[in-house]
Amino acid sequence: MKKLFVLTALLSSTSALAAMQTITLSVPSMNCVTCPITVKKSLVNVDGVEKADVTYATKLAIVTYDDDKTNVEGLVNATSNAGYPSILKD
Can you list the alpha helix ranges (DSSP code H) found in the chain? 2-18, 35-44, 72-81
Residue 67 pLDDT: 95
The average confidence (pLDDT) of the chain is 88
Given a cut of 90, whether residue 29 has pLDDT beyond it is: yes
Judge whether 23 lies within some domain.
Answer: yes
Give the domain CATH number at 79: 3.30.70.100
Can you list the alpha helix ranges (DSSP code H) found in 19-71? 35-44
Region 9-26 average pLDDT: 71
* Interval 49-82: pLDDT, tens: 999 999 999 999 999 999 999 999 999 999 999 9
Predicted TM-score of the model (pTM): 0.79
Judge whether 84 lies within some domain.
Answer: yes
CA distance 35 to 25: 14
Residue 3 pLDDT: 54
Measured in degrees and rounded to the nearest 5, phi and psi for residue 60 equal -125, 150
Which range of residues forms the domain containing residue 29? 19-88
Domain count, the chain: 1
